[in-house]
A and B are shown apart, each in its own frame.
Chain A
Amino acid sequence: MTFIMEYSDLILEGLWITVSLLIISFIFGFILSIFVALSRLSHYKIIALPAFIFTSVIRGTPLLVQIYIYYYGLGEVFAKMPGIRSSFLWPYLRDGYWYVAFALIVSTAAYWGEVIRGGLLAVPKGEIEAARAFGMSAFKILIRVRLPRAIYILTPTLAGETILLLKSTALASTIAIMDLLGAAQRFRSITLEVYQPLLTVAAIYLLITLLIEHLFKRVENRIPTRG
């Protein structure tokens, strides 16, 4: 067990990067995905079609390719832009972390957009009619009835999706970011051990997964259900 002590700083730092990526992409991806879902459900083709194309393309291509397109592709374009290296944006544009965060937010928006669209369609018609009978505006109905109801219906699905998101954060290590997997890779190359670092980090991922499931269960239990 001594090796864990020796590399605990590396692992803790990796844990922080993994968790922060998870939280950032969870929050912003979730907000964006509501817009994607609403656009997909729009009666106007001009709004619904771009959202459909967005979801289809993002879900139809590997996340790793998307990360490479942003990091190497756009990174190269940014680097060639005049004046950008001296601007305040450069520290962010140089750092791979923000490219991965961006990629995760965009992909979360696409995957969850579809999930939330399904949830919005699953809200019982009677509840929306009741809200309308109370004279609520379409916007109020959305905020007070449709969205909360859809999210309640979806809590088990969202738990699964959050775990998939956690696993996607590991792709950060492919562009040399020291997230959990990156830390494992680093100390694999220092110690030339294969199993120990990777299995240690696998156990941490497993623990975070259990924690996510537990948190979602608590949210689910707070929601009153019949029976």
Chain B
Amino acid sequence: MHESLYLLGFSENGWGPALLKGTWITLQISFGGFLTGLLIGLITASAKLCRFKSLQMIANGYSTLCRAVPELLLIILFFYGGSSLINAVAQRIGFEDFNVAGLPVAILVLGLVQGAYASEIFRGAIQSVHPGQIEAAQAYGLSQKKIFFRITLPIMAPNALAGLSNLWVYIIKDSALISVVGTSELLHIAKQAGGSTKEYLLFFGAAAVIYYLITLISSYFLRILETYLRRWQPKH
């Protein structure tokens, strides 16, 4: 085993640079997907809480579907379905077949999956804001927008953060599923390396260690952030 360790290194035959690049792409996919998910989640949560029944139904249907159906199926569905949809549209307006690039599609797909979970977290967090505080703001004559940014958002942020930290850890792990549709993130590279050297245990082990380090380091920072956001909350 130890003589095959050089395969992980940065020497001539080493897969080190490739693995690092895969890690970088994994981080990009995760971060991009997370932000997209937050945006979709915020929109969906507001749709769930709005007055219009039809919007509520669409939002609920989307989040029920995404939470009941395996992520891998959704990724395959959105990836192939999405790219054939984009191609169909491109052909209709007279473009050649459009090669849908891996990274943006991966980000969008993971964002769609995460948005469903994020919407539930936001809904819970928004509902945890005491109505009296909103009424007080209304009594001061604050506009809807100001109430959201100055009252609702800062009060709900620490409540949402615990759930969102979980989502961040989930998306790092879900990003590994993207390897199935062929974007060259960490697991995809590890699989290629394992295939060409026949050292599967070594490369998948290395990938596992990298994923583990990413989750450990990010949980550490998220804990610090949560303590910071909660600094003014009453201690129990």
Contact = CB atoms under 8 A, between A and B. Distances in A.
Query: Do the two chains bind?
Result: yes
Interface of A: 56-57, 60-66, 68-69, 72-77, 163, 166-171, 173-174, 181, 184-185, 188, 194-195, 198-199, 201-202, 205-206, 209-210
Contacts of B77: 194-195, 198-199, 202
A202 B73 contact: yes
B177 interface: yes
Contacts of A68: 187, 190-191, 194, 200, 204
A167 B70 contact: yes
Given A57-B212, A62-B176, A185-B76, A170 B70 contact: yes
A205 B204 contact: no
A181 B70 contact: yes
Contact of A65 (B68, B76, B187): B187
B221 to A, nearest CB: 15
A171 B108 CA distance: 21
A54 B174 CA distance: 20
B127 to A, nearest CB: 18
Nearest to A198: B77
Nearest to B212: A60
B167 interface: no
Contacts of B65: 202, 206
Nearest to B214: A60
Is the interface on chain B under 10, 10 to 19, 20 to 34, or 35 or more residues?
35 or more
Nearest to A63: B173
A64 B198 CA distance: 19
11 contacts: A62-B175, A62-B211, A64-B187, A65-B187, A65-B207, A68-B190, A68-B191, A69-B200, A72-B201, A75-B200, A185-B76
B211 to A, nearest CB: 5
Contacts of B64: 206
A108 B211 CA distance: 19
Interface in B134-169: 169
Interface in B73-119: 73-74, 76-77, 80-81, 84
Contacts of A60: 169, 211-212, 215-216
Given A62-B176, A76-B198, 5 more contacts: A62-B187, A65-B207, A75-B200, A205-B69, A205-B73
Contact of A61 (B67, B70, B74, B212): B212
Given A68-B191, A72-B200, A198-B81, A61 B72 contact: no
Contacts of A62: 172-177, 187, 211
A78 to B, nearest CB: 11
Given A64-B176, A64-B177, A209-B68, A201 B73 contact: yes
A206 B81 CA distance: 19
Given A65-B207, A65-B211, A202-B65, A170 B194 contact: no
Contacts of A169: 70
B211 A61 contact: yes
B208 interface: yes
A66 B208 contact: yes
Contacts of B176: 62, 64-65
A31 B68 CA distance: 25
A161 to B, nearest CB: 13
Contact of B68 (A174, A199, A201, A206): A206
A174 B207 contact: no
Q: With a 10 A CB-CB cut-off, give which of A65, A73, A77 has the most chain B CB atoms.
A: A65
A114 B74 CA distance: 28
B71 A167 contact: yes
B46 interface: no
B204 A73 contact: yes
B179 interface: yes
Contact of B73 (A64, A181, A195): A181
